[in-house]
């Protein structure tokens, strides 16, 4: 079963359009959505979480049509938005607000998560730093064992130690194969550590959805001269960047001339190359 | 709903202590000063505006969006607001009723005070749920202006309204309050968060 499915989803605004999005997340997988600022990641998440209705297409979450009538589905969802908007309460007060609506709320686990992520229990939400607010949101989402965790830029604003801790937490969480994670971010390095699949979003359009390892296997980075690349078909060359001493290129590995040494490509390289290609 | 009411109580006692204090002060003044009926009505009107102020807080902090990602039903969301509204008005009216009874031996003014308190939220809440706090104020101004213009040009005789007193006024306002609840619920049920004030 898919944790969610978006079929031909379109959402139009005056100056932006999310166009014909087809995206699904199989249960037990982590899908990372990578996109530059303004690519439409948060809009896509708002559509997925039912905060907005699509102009066209359908969104199904955990097997059910998403929308305002599907509020009960949200008991099985953990949603961490870029700006969560919790009221100005302490972590303990927040648990008194949220625990009654989540039968699976585990107070001990919640307190343990707060300690693990160094979130103070007695400070009011608005007095916390943006990073700590995000960690608190994550604690409230994880302590109720959701089947699908939706994270919007959830590692932004975290220090490297906290980011690492969050990445480990998410890895722990996805050990249970009922759990799925959809994470949107422009911090590609975090997604590279976590994701099974990646989707690239650019100006409201999905450029690709693919298994991460296969994608990284398919391309490589080379440092060479322009002449070295001349015999290659243009479709195998994703990007060429002049360095002054030659060129740096991202190319399909199957097209790699045998004489050229290559460096494994990172998701960030690939994303930037594809964006440049799309532009 | 319990959690939502708990959250609003926290906000109320943390962020609106001064308003609560003023309500208490005016309440005492209203009972202590027999000639100052303004002081009897004012705290009730202030109490009636508290739910709208809570809604403003929610809009400012982003809770109105966050809450739509949580498994609260529209009935719980709107119901908790209207219940709070009702209780926040009932409490000062009840206290004034006791005070007036002890002072004058009669609390006949209470239904009127209660109706006056309910009138504000009855009009404001559906507008908020449809347009959001900021826009709803303009919409309210627009509606009031339109009514004033209509009354002027059609030479409506509003003097009949002044004859409505106490219980009759409450009998008019209570169904309107329930209608207002139904309309707010309808807005929240049918419109996604991005298309409403929430």
A103 at the B interface (CB within 8 A)? no
Does B198 fall in a domain? no
Residues of A in contact with B70 (CB under 8 A): 74, 98, 101
Query: How many residues would you count in chain A?
Result: 279
The interface residues of chain B toward chain A in range 29-68, judged by CB-CB distance below 8 A, are: 57-58, 61-66, 68
Does B197 fall in a domain? no
Beta strands in A84-216 (DSSP E): 148-152, 180-185, 197-202, 205-211
Beta bridge partners of A247: A224, A242
- Span A217-238, average pLDDT: 81
- Residue B164's pLDDT band, with cuts at 50, 70 and 90, is low
- Residue B193's pLDDT band, with cuts at 50, 70 and 90, is low
A84 at the B interface (CB within 8 A)? yes
Does B130 fall in a domain? yes
Mutate to test the interface with B, among A87, A88, A148 (most CBs of B within 10 A): A87
Q: Nearest-CA distance from B88 to chain A in Å?
A: 20
Residues of A in contact with B193 (CB under 8 A): 50-52
What are A28-85's pLDDT values in tens digits?
889 999 888 888 888 899 888 888 888 888 888 888 876 555 677 888 889 888 888 8
- Span B20-33, average pLDDT: 86
B52 closest CA partner among B130, B100, B124, B142? B124
Q: Which DSSP category does A72 fall into?
A: G
Beta-carbon-side half-sphere exposure of residue B133 (alpha carbons within 13 Å): 14
B195 at the A interface (CB within 8 A)? yes
Which of B2, B66, B192 has the CB atom closest to A53's CB atom? B192
A231 closest CA partner among A248, A255, A261? A255
Closest residue in B to A95 (Cα–Cα) = B3
State chain A's mean pLDDT as an integer: 86
Q: Nearest-CA distance from A222 to chain B in Å?
A: 45
Q: How far apart are CA A261 and CA A90, in angstroms?
A: 55
Residue A181: left if φ>0, alpha if ψ -120 to 50, beta else—which one? beta
A44 closest CA partner among A9, A90, A1? A9
Tokens, residue A38: 């303004």
Beta bridge partners of A198: A32, A210
Q: What is the count of structural domains for chain B?
A: 1
What are A159-181's pLDDT values in tens digits?
888 888 888 888 888 888 889 99
Does B75 fall in a domain? yes
- Residue B68's pLDDT band, with cuts at 50, 70 and 90, is confident
> Taking the alpha carbons of A71, A75, A81, A84 in that order, is the dihedral positive or negative?
positive
* A45-54, A60-69, A234-243, B81-90: least confidently modelled range: A60-69
Q: Does residue B161 have a pLDDT over 70?
A: no
Q: Which pLDDT score, from 0 to 100, does residue B52 have?
A: 83
ipTM exceeds 0.95: no
Q: Which residue has the tokens 């994670």?
A: A181
What are A180-221's pLDDT values in tens digits?
999 988 778 878 888 889 998 888 888 888 898 888 888 888
Q: How far apart are CA A222 and CA A239, in angstroms?
A: 11
Residues of A in contact with B71 (CB under 8 A): 71-75, 101-102
Beta bridge partners of B176: none
Q: Does residue B197 have a pLDDT over 80?
A: no
Q: How far apart are CA B196 and CA B198, in angstroms?
A: 5
B4 at the A interface (CB within 8 A)? yes
- Span A234-246, average pLDDT: 79
Q: Which pLDDT score, from 0 to 100, does residue B195 have?
A: 46
Residues of A in contact with B64 (CB under 8 A): 85
Does B195 fall in a domain? no
What are A91-113's pLDDT values in tens digits?
999 999 999 888 889 999 999 99
Q: Does residue A228 have a pLDDT over 80?
A: no
Q: Nearest-CA distance from A247 to chain B in Å?
A: 47
Interchain CB distance below 8 Å, B74 and A50: no
Q: How far apart are CA B181 and CA B87, in angstroms?
A: 15
Q: Could you list the residue range(s) of the whole structural domain that residue B93 is in?
A: 2-190
The interface residues of chain B toward chain A in range 108-167, judged by CB-CB distance below 8 A, are: none
Closest residue in B to A100 (Cα–Cα) = B3
Taking each helix axis from N to C terminus, what angle separates B133-153 and B38-61, rounded to the nearest 10 degrees?
Answer: 140
Q: Does residue B98 have a pLDDT over 50?
A: yes
Radius of gyration for chain A, computed over Cα atoms and rounded to the nearest angstrom: 21
What are A264-279's pLDDT values in tens digits?
888 888 888 888 765 5
Find which of B36-50, B73-87, B126-140 is predicted with most confidence, using mean pLDDT: B73-87
Q: Does residue A26 have a pLDDT over 60?
A: yes
Which of A51, A71, A126 has the CB atom closest to B72's CB atom? A71
Q: Nearest-CA distance from A129 to chain B in Å?
A: 14
What 3-state DSSP class applies to A87? coil
Tokens, residue B144: 């009031």
Task: Work out the widest C-alpha separation in chain B, in whole angstroms.
Answer: 53
Interchain CB distance below 8 Å, B66 and A98: no
Q: How far apart are CA A132 and CA A137, in angstroms?
A: 9
């Amino acid at each position: 079963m898919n944790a969610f499915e978006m079929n031909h989803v379109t959402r139009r605004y005056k100056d932006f359009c999310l166009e014909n999005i087809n995206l699904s997340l199989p249960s037990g997988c982590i899908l990372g959505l990578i996109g530059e600022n303004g690519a439409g990641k948060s809009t896509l998440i708002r559509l997925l979480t039912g905060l907005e209705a699509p102009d066209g297409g359908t969104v199904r979450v955990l097997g059910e049509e998403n929308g305002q009538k599907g509020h009960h589905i949200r008991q099985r969802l953990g949603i961490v938005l870029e700006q969560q908007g919790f009221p100005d309460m302490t972590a303990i007060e927040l648990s008194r607000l949220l625990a009654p609506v989540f039968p699976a709320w585990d107070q001990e686990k919640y307190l343990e998560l707060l300690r693990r992520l160094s979130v103070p229990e007695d400070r009011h939400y608005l007095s916390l730093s943006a990073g700590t607010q995000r960690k608190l949101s994550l604690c409230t989402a994880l302590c109720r064992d959701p089947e699908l965790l939706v994270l919007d830029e959830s590692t932004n604003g975290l220090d490297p130690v906290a980011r690492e801790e969050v990445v480990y937490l998410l890895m722990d969480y996805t050990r249970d194969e009922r759990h799925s994670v959809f994470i949107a971010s422009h911090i590609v390095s975090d997604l590279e550590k976590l994701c099974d699949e990646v989707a690239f979003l650019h100006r409201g359009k999905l450029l690709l959805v693919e298994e991460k390892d296969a994608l990284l296997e398919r391309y490589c980075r080379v440092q060479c001269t322009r002449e070295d690349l001349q015999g290659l078909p243009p479709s195998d060359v994703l990007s060429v960047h002049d360095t002054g001493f030659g060129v740096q290129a991202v190319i399909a590995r199957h097209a790699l001339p045998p004489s050229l040494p290559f460096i494994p490509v990172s998701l960030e390289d690939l994303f930037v190359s594809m964006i440049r290609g799309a532009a | 709903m319990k959690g939502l009411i708990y959250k609003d109580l926290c906000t109320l006692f943390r962020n609106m202590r001064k308003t609560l204090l003023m309500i208490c002060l005016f309440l005492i003044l209203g009972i202590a000063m027999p000639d100052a009926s303004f002081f009897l009505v004012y705290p009730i009107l202030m109490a009636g505006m508290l739910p709208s102020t809570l809604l403003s807080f929610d809009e400012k902090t982003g809770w109105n969006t966050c809450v739509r990602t949580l498994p609260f039903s529209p009935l719980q969301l709107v119901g908790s607001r209207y219940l709070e509204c009702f209780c926040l008005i009932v409490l000062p009216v009840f206290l004034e009723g006791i005070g007036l009874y002890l002072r004058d031996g009669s609390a006949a003014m209470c239904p009127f005070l209660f109706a006056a308190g309910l009138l504000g939220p009855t009009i404001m809440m559906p507008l908020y749920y449809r347009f959001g706090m900021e826009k709803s104020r303009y919409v309210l101004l627009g509606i009031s202006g339109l009514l004033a213009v209509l009354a002027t040009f059609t030479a409506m005789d509003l003097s009949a309204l002044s004859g409505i007193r106490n219980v009759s006024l409450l009998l008019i306002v209570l169904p309107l309050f329930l209608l207002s609840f139904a309309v707010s619920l309808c807005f929240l049920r049918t419109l996604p968060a991005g298309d409403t004030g929430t």
